[in-house]
Every structure is written in C-alpha cells, then in structure tokens.
Amino acid sequence: MPAPSEQLTAGIDAGSSAVKVVIASSSGGRDGKVIFKACERIRRRNVHDLVRRVYDDTRAQAGISERDLAYVASTGDGEAAPFATGHFYSMTTHARGAVYLEPTARAALDVGALHARAIKFDERGKVLSHRMTSQCASGSGQFVENIARYLGVPLEDVGGLSKGAPDSEQVSSICAVLAETDVINMVSRGIPTSHILKGIHGSIAGRLVRLIRAIKVQAAMVVTGGLALDDGLVAALRDGFKADRGEPLEVLTHADSLYAGAIGAALLGAFRSVQLQRKSINRGDPAGGLRRAAHWR
C-alpha cells in the first residue's frame, strides 16, 4: 500500500488490439511507481466486457478494491470504460508515460496496431507537437502481424529473425497491399524469411524516421506501443536515423513501453484527482470533487 501522502490510481488503455491496465502509486502524479500491470489481446471479443474483466482481475491480483483508488483514468477508446472517473487523450497519456519511463526522452514514437504517432514533449510530458501516419497500414503493428502470419513465423520471433539477418530484401512500396504482394513474390523466389522481415522493418523504419524528423526532435526518443517490443524494428530505426544524415537521435526502449499509455493515464489521473480535491475543499465540499468527476470527460 502507498505511503499516507500518496494515492492509488488506475490507468486503462483500450487500444485497437489490446487492453492494458496499470495501477500506480504517486503523490499527485509525481514520482509515481507502477504497482501492478496487465495486458490482454482483444482477439475479436467484446471490448467493453474485456476492459471490465481485465480491470477487475488486475485489482484482485494486486489486492486493491475500487474504494482504494482515488481516480480511474481511461485512454484510447474511452467508450470501452464507461465506469472510469475521467478520460485523457492517448497522445497526452503516451507523452506522460514516456517521460516517466525514460526521463531524458523528449519525444515518443507510439507504434500501435493501426497507426504510428510521433509526439514531442517537454520535461513534464506536456505535448508540444505531433504527427501521425496516413491511413495506410504499412507502418503499423497489424501490417507486421499480417506478414508474420503469411510467412508462418510466430509474432514473438519476428524481431529476432530480422535483427539477426545478414541481409535484407527491399520492399518496393510503402503501400501495405503492394508490400504484401512483394512478400508473396519474394517467397516464390526463395528469399530467406529473415531477409524478408528485415526488409519489412527497414521499410517501416523509413516512414517512421521521416515522421519523427517532421517534429524536429533533438534529444532522445522512446518507442512506445506494441511494436516497441519488436527488436528488429528498433534496430531498423536506429540504423535509419544513422543513415539519414540528420541530427543524431538516441532511440530508447523500455520493458514497460507497451504500457506507456496506461501509465500516463494513471499518473494524469492522480494529478487530476488532487486538482478536484483542492477545488472541493475551497468550496467547502471535501467529497464533492470526485463525485462530480464521474461526469467529467
């Protein structure tokens, strides 16, 4: 349990492919500590039901009741967690979560299942600028998953195969449909699977490097989202920044990069909770702030 000056909050990140839940202890959102975390793939299940179950299971495993939580913050698909105290935009939560994970970082590259975002922020995690990829899925986790499925490679093995490949086969287009056609042709020509995967990662990294350069980041960047766990993509990003002749940029990852959005939500929820409590005290209603917060969006 937290110290008396601290409070417990929960962050729920309902993404397009997975639900992440974090319970954190912090003093108004500062100096936070992740107490418990959980992630579960959606896999065509009802998102609302899954969010509630993962949230309840996480609390149960951590031994924390709903009464112990000062604030429950949602991010991502806010409609998937109607019981949350409040909702925060995912760009804001990823920025706050990224600076929590890597205090030296001043940008996050959030690479999710359907899109990627470059987010520039200050030392507090306040968003200064951002860019998002187009509707094309060729820079997303779903694209990598589709390629891995076609090649018959378990998703968890993709990064290692790509990173260890001595050579790569260039994908001729950044369009997901045409890129998948390229892969089919490569397989028919007998190109090694590892070379194909390295080429796919190189193609994705090229798009993401341009995305980051567009927001003029000059310090360290942390990769967040599902593809942050893909060693092959991270290696391709590092190679891409070295090859583009721009300002040197350190590419960082963290074991909890997948949870950046949920962590940021939990910490922002703690900050919001303190704000509401102060307003309530000033109004002479110490309990009213969080009671009203249930309707805040």
Report all structural domains of the chain as residue ranges with CATH numbers, in order of start. 7-89+258-293 (3.30.420.40), 103-253 (3.30.420.40)
Strand-strand pairing, 7-14 and 18-27 = antiparallel
pLDDT above 70 for 4: no
pLDDT above 50 for 297: no
What pairs with residue 267 in β-bridges? none
| Coil/strand/helix, residue 72 | strand
Of the candidates 52, 2, 51, the one whose C-alpha atom is nearest the C-alpha of residue 270 is 2
Q: pLDDT by residue (tens digit) across 20-53?
A: 999 999 987 788 899 999 999 998 889 999 999 9
Structural contact between residues 97 and 264, judged by C-beta atoms closer than 8 angstroms:
yes
Nearest-angstrom CA–CA distance, 207 and 223: 14
Confidence tier at 174 by pLDDT (50, 70, 90): low
Nearest-angstrom CA–CA distance, 242 and 167: 17
Q: pLDDT by residue (tens digit) across 259-271?
A: 999 999 999 999 9
| pTM for the structure as a whole | 0.89
CB crowding 196-224: b at 16 or more within 10 Å, else e: bbbbbbbbbbbbbbebbbebebeeebbbb
Helices (H), 63-154: 90-101, 141-151
Q: Look up tokens 């030296």; give the residue.
A: 104
Q: What's the mean pLDDT when you consider all of the chain?
A: 88
| Side chain identity at residue 37, one-letter code | K
Burial class (CB in 10 A: 0-12, 13-18, 19+), 53: middle
Q: pLDDT by residue (tens digit) across 46-72?
A: 999 999 999 999 999 999 999 999 999
Q: Percentage of the chain with pLDDT > 90?
A: 64
